[in-house]
Amino acid sequence: MALKATIYKAQLQIADMDRHVYGDHNLTIALHPSETEERMMQRVLAFAMHLPADDLRGRLEFSKGLSDVDEPDLWQIDLTGDIVHWIDLGQPDERRIRQAHGRAERLTVISYASSTPVWWSALQNKLQRTPRLAVVQIPADQSQALAQLAERSMQLQISIQDGSVYLNAAKGSVEIHPVLLKEREE
Residue among 70, 68, 104 nearest 86 (CA): 104
Tell me the CATH class for 6-164+176-182. alpha beta
Q: At what angle do helices 140-147 and 37-50 cross, to 10 degrees?
A: 100
Give CA separation, 97 vs 56, 92, 101, 104, 131, in Å.
26, 7, 6, 11, 12
82 pLDDT more than 90: yes
pTM greater than 0.85 (yes/no):
yes
65 pLDDT more than 70: no
Using one digit for the tens of pLDDT, what is the confidence trace for 140-163? Answer: 999 999 999 999 999 999 999 999
Q: In which band, very low, low, confident or very high, does the pLDDT at 118 lie, cut at 50, 70 and 90? A: very high
94 pLDDT more than 80: yes
Number of H helices, E strands in the chain: 4, 11
68 pLDDT more than 90: no
Q: Please state the domain extents for the chain.
A: 6-164+176-182
How much is the average pLDDT of 170-176?
97
